[in-house]
Amino acid sequence: MNQIKILFFASIRDKVGTKSAEMNIPNGMTVSQLKEKLGEQYPQLKDALKSTLVSVNREYAFDDAFIPADAELALFPPVSGG
Amino acid sequence: MNQIKILFFASIRDKVGTKSAEMNIPNGMTVSQLKEKLGEQYPQLKDALKSTLVSVNREYAFDDAFIPADAELALFPPVSGG
Amino acid sequence: MTLMNFPTVYSVTEAEINLDKLLEEITLTSSGAAAIFTGVVRGVTKRGEERRTAYLEYEAYVPMAEAKMKQVADEIRERWNSVEGIAIVQRIGKLYPKTPTILIACTAAHRDTGVFEAARYGIDRLKEIVPIWKKEVGENGETWIEGEYIPASGD
Amino acid sequence: MTLMNFPTVYSVTEAEINLDKLLEEITLTSSGAAAIFTGVVRGVTKRGEERRTAYLEYEAYVPMAEAKMKQVADEIRERWNSVEGIAIVQRIGKLYPKTPTILIACTAAHRDTGVFEAARYGIDRLKEIVPIWKKEVGENGETWIEGEYIPASGD
C-alpha cells in the first residue's frame, strides 16, 4: 500500500468539505483509478470530476500517470487567477 | 513688422549660445525665409539648420508656413526623449 | 522569490503589490525598457451580462503556484533571450475593486526586442497554468470563477 | 495634467516617477487590465559600439511637450476605444542609470482589446514628436543624443 496526501482547492474543496485528506492506495494506481475511487468516496464530486485537474507532486498529472509513493496530490477546477 | 520670440533648445541652443531671442521680421515671412535669416545672423547654425525642426506656437511648422504676428517659435534638433 | 544572474522574482503574497519596488528589483544597468502588465479587480464588468462585484476572494496552491510562475519565467527566457529581469506576483486574499491583483514585468535593453510580447505571453500563460482561483462576491451572492484552459503534458 | 471622464494624466516633471500612484489615477471601477511601459537610463549600452553612461541630462520644451503628450493620448483613444485611462510622464533633469525616465500606462476592462498595443503605440509616438532631448555624459565626454524622426504635417 501507498500512503498519499490529497489537497482540495476552490469549488472542489467546497464540495468535499475538507482541505485535505490522507489515503492509502494500492501501488501502481493511476490518476484515473484514483478519480474513480474518489467519486465513490465523495459522491457529491462525481459530476465535477470530469473537469477536475489533478496535480501529483505539484505537476499536472493526466489519467494514465501512476501515483508514486508518498505523493502530494491536489484536485482543483481549471485555474482562474489574474 | 512683426515681433516674434524664438526659443532654442539642446544642441541648437549650445550653438547659438542663448536660450531665446526676440526678433522683428517682415509680415508674411515664411519659416524657410526665417531659417535663411537666422543662418546669416548665426553662421555657426548654418550646417545644422537643414535638420533643425521648427515649431510655431507649439506646433511643428514646415518651410512654406507663414509666421503669424507675436508668434512663439522654437528651433531644435530631432527629439530624443524617452 | 529567486535571484539569478538575470533576476527572476516571483511570489504569491497577501501584501500590496509595489510596482516601483518590483521594477527596481529587475532593472539591471544594461536595462533600458520595461513592459509591465497588471490585472485589477473590476467593480463593474460589461462583457457578457453586466454585473457588479463587491470583492474577489483569491486562493492559491502556493508551492505549486510559485513553481508554475518560475516555469512561465523560464518559458519567457527560452522565447526572448533579450529579456533581462522578470517579476511575477499574484496577490491573494480578499481584494476590492481597483486593486492590482497580478503583475508581470519584463526588462530588456531596448523596447523593440520582444519585451512587450514577453509580458503579454507571460500574463496569458499565468492565467492558464498557475493554480490560483477566485470567488466573486456580488449582488448575486458568491460564485467561483473557473478558467477554461485544460493543461496538457508539459504544462 | 488633465482629468476627463476617462482620465488622461500627463506631465513633464523633475520628480521621481511613481508607478503605483499613476496606475491608481487611471484605474476606473470598470478597469481590469493595465499595460505600462517605462524607459530606464542604461549604464551600459551594447547595441552599436559598447559604451558606458554616467548620467543623462534631459531637457524639454515643456508647454509644447505637454501638448504633444495630450496629442499622443488623443491618437491612442482614436485607435483603441477600449482604452479607459492613460498616463504619460517624462522625467527631466540629471538622471542616473537604472532610473525610470518615461512612463506610459493604459488601462482597459480586459487585456485582449488592445491595451498592450496602445501602450506600444504610445511610447513609439512619444519618442517621435514630444520635444525633449537628452545629453549623454560618459567616458567620452558629453554628447547630445538626436532622434531620427522628422515630423510631418499633422504631427
> Tell me: the pLDDT tens digits for C8-58?
999 999 999 999 999 999 999 999 999 999 999 999 999 999 999 999 999
Q: How far is CA C138 from CA C55, C56, C71, C97, D149, in A?
A: 7, 9, 34, 11, 50
Q: Cα(C154)–Cα(D151) distance, rounded to whole angstroms?
A: 49
Count CB atoms within 10 A of the CB of residue D148. 9
| Closest alpha carbon within chain D to C17 | D20
> What local confidence, expressed as pLDDT, does residue D5 receive?
80
> Is pLDDT above 80 for C3?
no
On chain C, the residues whose CB falls within 8 A of the CB of A81 are 58, 60, 65, 90, 102, 126-127, 130-134
Residue D90 has φ and ψ, to the nearest 5°, of -120, 125
The phi and psi torsions of D123 (rounded to 5 degrees) equal: -65, -35
What letter does residue D16 receive in the DSSP assignment?
P
| Cα–Cα distance for residue pair C22/B42, rounded to 1 Å | 49
**Considering the domain boundaries, does residue A70 fall inside one?**
yes
In this predicted structure, the answer to whether residue C1 has a pLDDT above a threshold of 50 is no
Residues of A in contact with C130 (CB under 8 A): 79, 81
The residue-averaged pLDDT of C90-97 equals 98
* The predicted structure's pLDDT at residue C150: 96
A82 within a domain of the structure (yes/no): no
The pLDDT assigned to D76 comes to 98
How confident is residue A64, by pLDDT bands cut at 50, 70 and 90? very high
Q: What is residue C37's predicted lDDT score, i.e. its pLDDT?
A: 98
**Average pLDDT over every residue of C63-71:** 98
Which of C32, C38, C120 is facing D39, going by the closest CB pair? Answer: C32
What average pLDDT score do residues D106-112 get? 98
Residues sharing a CB contact under 8 Å with residue C101, sequence separation 6 or more, in sequence order: A82, C17, C38, C39, C40, C41, C56, C58, C90, C91, C95
State the pLDDT at residue D1: 40
Question: What pLDDT digit, counting tens, does each position of D54-82 carry?
Answer: 999 999 999 999 999 999 999 999 999 99
In a domain, B81, yes or no: no
Grouping H, G, I as helix, E, B as strand and the rest as coil, residue D65 is: helix
Is residue C122 within 8 A of residue C88, CB to CB? The reply is: yes
Contact at 8 Å (CB) between B74 and D95?
no
Q: Which residues of C touch A56 (CB under 8 A)?
A: none
Higher pLDDT, C8 or B1: C8
Asked if the structure places residue B82 within a domain, the reply is no
Mean pLDDT of B7-35: 97
- Res. A28: pLDDT tops 80: yes
Look at residues C39, C1, C5 and name the one whose alpha carbon lies nearest to residue C22: C1
A7 in C contact zone (CB under 8 Å) = yes
pTM, full prediction: 0.96
Chain D residues with CB-CB distance to B5 below 8 A: none
**Chain A within 8 Å of C70 (Cβ-Cβ)?**
no
Contact B47, B13 (CB under 8 A): no
**φ, ψ for residue D81, nearest 5 deg:** -75, -5
Flag whether residue D60 sits within 8 Å of chain B, measured between CB atoms: yes
Q: What are phi and psi of B33, to 5 degrees?
A: -65, -40
Residue A7 lies in a domain: yes
Q: What is the DSSP letter of D2?
A: B
Q: Domains in chain D, please, with CATH?
A: 3-145 (3.90.1170.40)
Domain span at residue A44?
2-76
For residue D61, give the nearest of B9, B11, B78 by CB distance: B9
Count of the separate structural domains present in chain A: 1
The pLDDT, as a whole number, for residue D2 is 42
CB C43 within 8 A of CB C97: yes
pLDDT, average across residues C89-118: 98
> Half-sphere exposure of residue A82, counting CA atoms within 13 Å on the CB side?
24
Residue type, B47: D
pLDDT value for B1: 86
The band of A61, judged by pLDDT with boundaries at 50, 70 and 90, is very high
**The predicted structure's pLDDT at residue C2:** 42
What pLDDT is recorded for position D140? 84
Domain of A27, CATH number, reads 3.10.20.30
Grid cell listed for D6: 476617462
